[in-house]
Amino acid sequence: MRERKGVFVTVGTTSFDKLVAAVDSEPVKAALFRRGFSHLQIQIGRGTYIPSKVSGEDGELEVDYFTFSPTIADHLTAASLVISHAGSGSIFETLRLGKPLVVVVNEDLMDNHQAELAEELADRKHLFFARGPHLLAQTIESMDLESLVPYTPGNPKNIADQIDAFFGFSSPGEGSDQKGGEGEGASVSKISKLFSFFFR
Amino acid sequence: MEPDFLTIIALIVSLLVIRVTYVLYWTGRPFKRAPKTSLRTMIVLGSGGHTAEMLSIVNVLQKDKYAPRSYVAALTDNMSLQKAQVYEESLQNHENNVDKKRGAQFMQIYRSREVGQSYITSIGTTIVAIIHAMWIVLKLRPQVILCNGPGTCIPLCACAYLLKLIGWRWCTTIYIESIARVKKLSLSGFLLYKLPLADQFFVQWPLLQQKFPRSQYAGRVM
């Protein structure tokens, strides 16, 4: 009796029929089954290609699908492998959960800057990367899940601190805000007001 | 004796030259003195990952220093303002004393160009977008603009800068290039970097910082 290991496929808010069709194809389903996965859940988003549901009773990969869900996070958490389009939201949400991830680039997109991000994260061994749905089967066959390196989430506080520093605001916990020119006479501030049209 | 028409023109031009020089000198230079009051902040949102990244930055800002906040998104973007409203409401629930006059505002702006729109009709819609941006900037009077890439930010930043040049108001533009930009800047980012319109320019990958040395790398937001 096979251990329950699920694969979750997500296209985010996009339509990515070629990926759904590739996942629904025999080579990919067979590859996933050979790699030890028991069931496949596909989030098809705005796509029009409908995959075939499979009950999995005959010793094959179970397949189910839906369009959208308010609880994508739950599906990601339950999965043992995630296959995703190259949107940064989907990528980082999955990496934050520490899930093995295969990113598939949509070659039909005009300005494909998304591939840059997936490529960089793949170079850093945080995920596996397929340049198009036609390469998904071989990516799944050859991927070594042990080689993945966990992604350490970034911290927006560093940028916030730099912005604070620009304005001279102290970061929370530090002393009072930077003040240069303390003890400026009243006359100087009056002149400043007069020329406030020009002065910042 | 009546003032000479030419003299008046010469005076205005001189004042403008002084002002423009002043603006060009101070663009990008940190404030010498911290503002005594909070800064009116405009936050530009966009589809895809832009809003999520932007809100993750706003979330760690000192809310009392960057207030009142206004959020601007494209007319055709349905989700972003909703997310911002939910976020601002969650802040209200935490604070006990809510200053109603300083609540967050949410506005929509015409897009310069929709995806796939013909370039000929784009000229007309861009003009409309610029006029609308000017109206929004005059209405919201931001002292800080935070943006991270959607095309909607260009007319807004350009109008704010134009007003700055003629001495109307001072607005500091802070640009954070999207995390999805690893090797190349987005078009908005490129324009804001090159012109230059932004006072601070952040990139989230070290390679970009090397390519664009006037940018700052302070890690990633997610």
The complex's ipTM works out to: 0.90
Instruction: Choose the mutation target among A163, A178, A194 for the interface with B, i.e. most B CBs under 10 Å.
Output: A163
User: Would the CB atoms of B30 and A168 count as touching at under 8 Å?
Assistant: yes
pLDDT recorded at residue B132 = 95
Percent of chain B with pLDDT over 90: 72
User: Would the CB atoms of A159 and B26 count as touching at under 8 Å?
Assistant: no
User: Would the CB atoms of B62 and A181 count as touching at under 8 Å?
Assistant: no
Residues A35, A132 within the same domain? yes
Residues A51, A128 within the same domain? yes
pLDDT recorded at residue A114 = 83
CB-CB contact of B183 with A116 (8 Å): yes
Structural element, H or E, at residue A7: strand A6-10
Total count of domains within chain A: 2
3-class secondary-structure state, position A23: helix
Residues A51, A129 within the same domain? yes
pLDDT recorded at residue A181 = 38
Residues A104, A183 within the same domain? no
User: Would the CB atoms of B34 and A157 count as touching at under 8 Å?
Assistant: no
Residue B172 near chain A (CB below 8 Å): yes
Query: Distance between CA A140 and CA A35 in Å, rounded?
Result: 8
Range of the domain at A141: 6-147
CB-CB contact of A122 with A129 (8 Å): yes
Closest by alpha carbon to A68, among A126, A6, A15? A15
Low-confidence winner among B2-6, B34-38, B101-105 (lowest mean pLDDT): B101-105
- Please give, rounded to a whole number of angstroms, the shortest distance from the CA of A42 to a CA of chain B: 20
Residues A105, A194 within the same domain? no
Low-confidence winner among A193-197, B76-80, B135-139 (lowest mean pLDDT): A193-197
Between A18 and B151, name the one with better pLDDT. Answer: A18
Is A21 inside a domain boundary? yes
User: Has residue B203 got a pLDDT over 90?
Assistant: yes
Boundary residue ending a domain (A147, A167, A185): A147
Between A60 and A190, name the one with better pLDDT. Answer: A60
Per DSSP, what are the bridge partners of residue A6?
A: A39
pLDDT recorded at residue A168 = 94
Burial A74-107 (b: 16+ CB within 10 A, else e): ebbeebbbbbbbbbbbbbbbbbeeebbbbbbbbe
* Cα-to-chain-centroid distance, residue A89: 4
pLDDT recorded at residue B3 = 72
Query: Distance between CA B29 and CA B12 in Å, rounded?
Result: 26
User: Would the CB atoms of A154 and B167 count as touching at under 8 Å?
Assistant: no
Which phi and psi angles does B105 have, rounded to 5°? -115, 155
Tens digits of residue pLDDT in A43-67: 999 999 999 999 988 788 999 999 9
Is A183 inside a domain boundary? yes
Residues A165, A119 within the same domain? no
Residues A105, A186 within the same domain? no
Ranges of H-type helices in B27-118: 49-59, 79-94
User: Would the CB atoms of A166 and B30 count as touching at under 8 Å?
Assistant: yes
Residues A106, A38 within the same domain? yes
Span B125-142, mean pLDDT? 93
Say which CATH number the domain at A47 has. Answer: 3.40.50.2000
Tens digits of residue pLDDT in A100-146: 999 999 988 867 778 999 999 999 999 999 999 999 999 999 999 99
- The pLDDT confidence band at residue A185, using thresholds 50, 70 and 90, is very low
- Please give, rounded to a whole number of angstroms, the shortest distance from the CA of B94 to a CA of chain A: 18
Residues A50, A26 within the same domain? yes
Instruction: Choose the mutation target among B18, B31, B64 for the interface with A, i.e. most A CBs under 10 Å.
Output: B31
Considering only CB atoms, which residues of chain A are within 8 Å of chain B? 87-89, 92, 96, 113-114, 116-117, 119-120, 153-170, 172, 177-181, 197-198, 200
Residues A169, A189 within the same domain? yes
Burial A10-44 (b: 16+ CB within 10 A, else e): bbbebbbbbbbebbbbeebbebbbeeebbbbbbbb
Is A1 inside a domain boundary? no
Angle at B64 between CA B47 and CA B144, to 5 degrees: 50
User: Would the CB atoms of B33 and A179 count as touching at under 8 Å?
Assistant: yes
Residue B204 near chain A (CB below 8 Å): yes
Residues A35, A95 within the same domain? yes
Structural element, H or E, at residue A126: none
Residues A17, A53 within the same domain? yes
User: Across the beta sheet with B69-74, what order do the strands follow?
Assistant: B105-109, B69-74, B41-44, B144-147, B172-176, B200-203, B216-217
Residue of B nearest to A158 (CA): B218
3-class secondary-structure state, position B97: coil
What pTM value is reported for the model? 0.85
pLDDT recorded at residue A140 = 96
